Amino acid sequence: MRGAPLRIHLAFKLATALLAVAGSVVILMALTRLIPGDPATVILGSRATPEAVAALNARIGLDRPVGEHVLVFFAHLLSGDLGEDVFNGRPVAGLVAAALPNTVALAFSAMLSAILFGVPLALLSARNPGGKTDRVVAFLSVGFISTPSFVVAVFLLMTFSVTLRWFPVLGAGEAGAVGDQLWHLVLPTAALAVGWIGYIARLLRSSLLEVLGENHIRTLRAYGVSEAKILMKYALKPAILPTIAILAMGFGELLGGAVFVEVIFNRPGLGSLIYDAIRTRNYPVVQGGVFITVLLYVLTNLSADLTQTLLDPRERSRLAAARGT
Amino acid sequence: MSEALVAIEKLNVSYPGATVSAHVLDSVDITIGHGEAVGLVGESGSGKSTVAFALLGLLADDADVSAGRAAFDGRENVFATKEAEALRGTEIAMVFQDPMSALNPLFTIGTQLIDIQRRRFPNERRSQLWARAERVLAEVGMPDAPRRMRAYPHEFSGGMRQRVVIAMALLVEPKLLIADEPTTALDATVEAQVVEALRRLRRRTRSSMLVVSHSMGLIAELCDSVVVMYAGTVVESGPVKAVLRKPLHPYTRALLACEIDPYADFDPEQELATIPGIVPDPARRPSGCIFAARCTESHARCSEPPPHRQVEAGHRFSCWQDASR
Ligand SMILES: Nc1ncnc2c1ncn2[C@@H]1O[C@H](COP(=O)(O)OP(=O)(O)O)[C@@H](O)[C@H]1O
Ligand SMILES: [Mg+2]
């Protein structure tokens, strides 16, 4: 991609992104067919009449070949139609729209806390590598990373909600009551963020140490620039660029983790929506939910890519120069 | 005559290795008078940069440094960490070997030129520091200095970057300016410009200089005296004129034979003379003369440590051969 103008760069990224989204929908639909057992029979029970089964299959689109099914899905998509709930006929778009804000709030607050705690931990470690603080942080980080978020979720729930009763047990809080919603967000956020705190701490630490060994840092040391300023200003900026890229890619994993956390804390959201839909073989809801999740994931990656580009003056002027010609 | 600005005697530096430690500097003596420019010459790997970094206290953490005497401007024992730190960026400044990597790519030249002055001028406001940086940048031959202050390092050519690095050293008005291979990374025309900038600066300031180079030509242009190093030891030292006119150590003669005459016509057929053999591994130093293995004039006596001899004023060398040759 070196030397490509901004517009081509963007178009290429966007095309790749859309292709990924489309591809994932196709794979999802093909997988649906591979799951053993006729979905209609699972949904309606084994004593359903053949007519009822046929009617349901027609409504879901399972009576047509996969290729046609995919085309119909994308055709409807163009008019903002994601299909209908098998059981009550409500539009999937509406269900997803209702669930989305909860999940996005959870993912963002997890990402934010991961940065808020991970970055200072990385700075503390890099200040004196091999020192006591570094070793303690390394121990904690590896522990955090290797504990799955659903284990943390169950632990937090049992300790702080059930035993100590400091936090609410279930749900997302009352609609409109921001304070209550935030209160309900604390434990799920912690469960989801813990691994990422460790991950950022490790990642940024090694990135910082690499930058600290570079010649431009030695230049600053030769002029007696304070270690604090070197670390917080001149080393942090170059070190955090690769971390941003990895964080954005991790957003997908964060959404995946959100499924477990939402299910355990019984929070409404994309995760629990998809989870419930899979359990009841509510395929249109699964498809719509997964489609939006993948779209979110891809868009986040795209914006991370752009952020990284715009933060680096070398990339900025490279793109500006390419635009000028 | 008053005491020299820098008086270093018997400087030893070694790095601990897995089995044996690498003795990188062996009993190096260097004296730099007030306002004097001293050249440090030798093949790559002979320990020139190590001497420069030792003066700044910027050697790697595992370096084992000891000196019989280390005095700077009347203060003794300046290799102690705290002492060396206090001198950095106030009384000693350094122009680094590689201008491409000596500047932080993510910050403007102006920002970096400001921050390196903070230690030297702690009470000045940002605007004063900025004005001084602009002025000095213009002084070292940067066209359109006020606008270039807001540019990033990648927007400068190699020669212009080297001027920025030289400007840094000038900004702090040091008593000693160290230039480590200031022109090695540059092509011939740019090299001439940078040499001119350094020479102008020598005429204007009264600071002492230590010019590190593997090229005798550069040192002849810039310096009053020269110290010839080979594999961590000083083999010859004295006034530039005397050493060039009458090189006494076989290594100095070999080095001079390797120089290309910058004024001769370029001849692609011409074979560049090289010294046969390689610099000995610092972990396995011979007990006698360190150069004996590669010396065309070696004899039985050379397996013993060579004597330090002095001919005329200040012209010294360490060799077993007859000094009258
Ligand atoms: N951190 C280090 N650890 C071990 N050996 C080192 C280290 N830094 C430099 N050296 C060794 O010191 C010797 C002299 O290096 P240097 O001072 O850079 O030479 P020069 O500047 O003359 O080319 C080399 O043999 C090099 O391998
Ligand atoms: Mg060197």
CATH number at residue B45: 3.40.50.300
Vertex A52: Cα angle to A46 and A58 (nearest 5):
115
- Residues pairing with B180 in the sheet: B212
Range of the domain at B66: 1-85+223-258+271-324
Q: Which residue has the higher pLDDT, B191 or A204?
A: A204
Residue A238 has pLDDT above 70, yes or no: yes
**Main-chain dihedrals φ then ψ at residue A186, nearest 5 degrees:** -60, -55
| Per-residue pLDDT tens over the stretch A262-321 | 888 888 888 889 888 888 878 888 888 888 888 888 888 788 777 777 778 887 787 777
Does residue B211 lie within any of the structural domains? no
β strands within A128-255, DSSP E: none
Amino acid at B139: E
When pLDDT is cut at 50, 70 and 90, the band that residue B1 belongs to is very low
Amino acid at A208: L
Does residue B189 lie within any of the structural domains? no
Domain count, chain B: 1
CATH code for the domain defined by A92-322: 1.10.3720.10
Whether B24 is in the pocket of ligand 1, judged by its Cβ within 6 Å, is: yes
Q: How far is the C-alpha of B143 from the C-alpha of B154, rounded, in Å?
A: 16
Does residue B178 lie within any of the structural domains? no
Does residue B181 lie within any of the structural domains? no
Mean pLDDT to the nearest integer, A157-179: 74
Please check whether residue A253 is in contact with residue A316, taking contact to mean a CB–CB distance below 8 angstroms.
no
Mean pLDDT to the nearest integer, A67-92: 81
DSSP, res B294: G
How far, in Å, from the CA of B90 to the mean position of ligand 2? 23
When pLDDT is cut at 50, 70 and 90, the band that residue A2 belongs to is very low
Mean pLDDT to the nearest integer, B150-164: 92
Does residue B28 lie within any of the structural domains? yes
| Per-residue pLDDT tens over the stretch B263-309 | 455 555 555 567 777 788 888 888 888 898 888 888 888 888 888 88
Upper half-sphere CA count for residue A240 (Cβ side, 13 Å):
16
Mean pLDDT to the nearest integer, B239-250: 92
pTM of the model: 0.79
Whether B15 is in the pocket of ligand 1, judged by its Cβ within 6 Å, is: yes
Selecting from A214, A225, A311 the residue whose C-beta is nearest the C-beta of B116 gives A225
Most B-contacting residue of A208, A210, A218, A223 (CB-CB within 10 A), to test interface: A223
Q: How far, CA to CA in Å, does A255 sit from each of A106, A250, A260, A274?
A: 9, 9, 9, 12
CA of A317 vs chain B CAs: smallest distance (Å): 9
Q: How far is the C-alpha of A320 from the C-alpha of A3, rounded, in Å?
A: 10
Mapped onto helix, strand or coil, the DSSP state of residue A7 is helix
Percent of chain B with pLDDT over 70: 94
> Residues near B302 by Cβ (< 8 Å), separated by ≥ 6?
B288, B289, B292, B295, B320
CA of A137 vs chain B CAs: smallest distance (Å): 22
Contact (CB<8Å) B115/A222:
no
What mean pLDDT value characterizes chain B? 86
DSSP string, A104-164: HHHHHHHHHHHHHHHHHHHHHHHHSTTSHHHHHHHHHHHHHHHS-HHHHHHHHIIIIIIIS
Minimum Cα–Cα distance from A239: chain B residue:
B106
> Residues near B120 by Cβ (< 8 Å), separated by ≥ 6?
A223, A224, B89, B90, B171, B172, B173
What are the boundaries of each domain within chain A?
Answer: 92-322
Does residue B202 lie within any of the structural domains? no
